[in-house]
Amino acid sequence: MITELVMFDLPNGITREKVVADMRQSAPKWRENSDLIRKNYLYDPHNGQAGGVYLWKNKGAAMRAHDEAWRKKIVELYGSEPVIRYFETPLIVDNALQDIIEEVAA
């Protein structure tokens, strides 16, 4: 599994309501992606940033979802390039599911 951290700067003056409305608008698209295990939307009003933490089946899926077209859309919407980092995710503690999920060895 791969955790992908995506962050981008928000334009000055954007409201929390607008940011959350954009999140709600995009959620169904992410719900339809069968390679995405989980997405947490992030909003940092103090630093003027938003983004997400994604848990993917693999890095290829993450890269396909956040391709050039997606990056261009973020720049058009918010005026900044997204910054993306990837992390191997060998183990997850999920208290909501009351489970520990371990990556299956390939």
CATH of 2-102, one of 3.30.70.100, 1.10.260.40, 3.90.1150.10, 3.40.50.300: 3.30.70.100
Written as six digits, the tokens of 90 are 């060998």
pLDDT score recorded for residue 106: 58
Counting other chains too, the contacts that 92-101 makes at CB distance below 8 Å and 24 or more residues apart are 92/1, 92/55
**Domain edges within the chain:** 2-102
Residues 25-35 have pLDDT tens digits of: 999 999 999 99
Residue 15 DSSP one-character state? -
Q: Please tell me whether the overall predicted TM-score, pTM, comes out greater than 0.75 for this model.
A: yes
Q: Are 35 and 57 in contact (CB under 8 A)?
A: yes
Residues 40-96 have pLDDT tens digits of: 999 999 999 999 999 999 999 999 999 999 999 999 999 999 999 999 999 999 999
